[in-house]
Structure 1
Amino acid sequence: MRAERFTGTVTRTLVASLLGVALLGGCSATIPTDPEGTLDRVTGGTLRVGVSPNPPWTDLPEGTGAEPEGIEPDLVRDFAETIDADVEWTAGGEEDLMGRLEDRELDLVVGGLTARSPWSSHVALTYRYLETVAADGQKELRVMAAPMGENAFLVELERFLLTTEVRP
């Protein structure tokens, strides 16, 4: 009787697994995916980026029409080039920009963020693209912020960051 119970359990598990694979195989879904279509929208379109001043990572020069400067704006421009996107910059404070990112008004926020960011429960932080050491000797893992759940966009951005050499 134990053998029959075991065989029945194995058979049901195997059938359920095969059914799951068949259903996934029959779907045209791609993984990772963006529920809001961020990567599809920005590819060949416009990447909306929030930038908060935090030199040398980000700097906002004075003057009408002046574009952000610094390590991260340069990275963003290089990334945008890989997906044939124009960059639309929005300058502001970190709190305002993170709120706009959560509301999907922005696609990305930069500003010298670290992996210890208090925003990590509200937005998706990229994998670290650079490790630095703060004045107090603590390690800082540099990241950027993207909308929560937009995984195809996040993977494309992380792929770019991981293959790009960044120097502070």
Structure 2
Amino acid sequence: MALPLALAVVSAGGCSEYPADPEKSLSHARGGQLSVGVVEHPPWTDLSTSTPSGTEVELITEYAQRIDAEIRWVPGSESELVGLMGEHELDLIIGGFDENTHWTSEAAPTRPYETPAEGPGRIVLTEQGENALLMDLESFFIERETP
């Protein structure tokens, strides 16, 4: 009798949405709005003009086109933007972060992406627990790197 009960528990656990999208970040962004925090860090992100520019801005713009999303750029400091992400106000944060950033305890880092100019090693921060967005963004990175 213990085996059927164990199978029922495992089966019930399998009914949840995978990958997780508890705040519906990916669902809201598809065909809607992607909110992106931007930290000044040339050449990845440049806030010296009215519209953000740089390698990561171009990367995220391309991703937004893929999911048919309009981007809401939110410039700020790292701590301000991580705070906004914790309040579910941002979907992503860009700013030339690498794998050694201390923000990985408060945000979920993507796998390092690769660009022809800079090579591998930079990451994008996403909201913790929003695995659907994280996985979709990482799939986009992999597709771009595949010749």
| TM-score in same-fold range (> 0.5) | yes
Residues in 2 aligned to 1:34 and 1:69: alpha-carbon distance in whole angstroms: 29
Q: 1:20 aligns with which of 9, 25, 29?
A: 9
Residues in 1 aligned to 2:13 and 2:35: alpha-carbon distance in whole angstroms: 33
Give 1:127 deviation, angstroms.
0.9
Match in the other structure for 1:89: 73
Segments ≥4 residues shifted beyond 6 Å = none
1:45-70 deviation per Cα after TM superposition (whole angstroms, max 9, x unaligned):
010101011111111133xxx21111
Match in the other structure for 1:80: 64
Q: 1:153 aligns with which of 108, 128, 133?
A: 133
Match in the other structure for 2:25: 38
Write the mapping of 1:1-168 to structure 2, written as runs, cut at 5 A. Answer: 12=2, 14-24=3-13, 27=15, 29-62=16-49, 66-130=50-114, 141-165=121-145
Which residue identity lines up with residue 58 of structure 2 in the other structure? D
Residues in 2 aligned to 1:112 and 1:87: alpha-carbon distance in whole angstroms: 18
What TM-score do you get using the length of structure 2 for normalisation?
Answer: 0.87
Return the structure number with greater strand share.
2
1:86-111 deviation per Cα after TM superposition (whole angstroms, max 9, x unaligned):
00101111111111111111111000
Alignment RMSD = 2.3
Q: What are the ranges of 5 or more consecutive residues in structure 2 without an aligned counterpart?
A: none
What TM-score do you get using the length of structure 1 for normalisation?
Answer: 0.77
Residues in 2 aligned to 1:107 and 1:153: alpha-carbon distance in whole angstroms: 8
Which residue identity lines up with residue 69 of structure 2 in the other structure? A
Residues in 1 aligned to 2:133 and 2:25: alpha-carbon distance in whole angstroms: 6
Give 1:30 deviation, angstroms.
2.6
Residues in 2 aligned to 1:95 and 1:21: alpha-carbon distance in whole angstroms: 40
Q: What are the ranges of 5 or more consecutive residues in structure 1 without an aligned counterpart?
A: 1-10, 135-139
Identity between Structure 1 and Structure 2 (%): 39
Larger Rg: 1
SS of the residue corresponding to residue 104 of structure 1 reads: coil
Give 1:161 deviation, angstroms.
1.3
Residues in 1 aligned to 2:136 and 2:123: alpha-carbon distance in whole angstroms: 14
C-alpha distance 40-141 of structure 1, shift in aligned 2 (>3 A): same
Residues in 2 aligned to 1:47 and 1:30: alpha-carbon distance in whole angstroms: 21
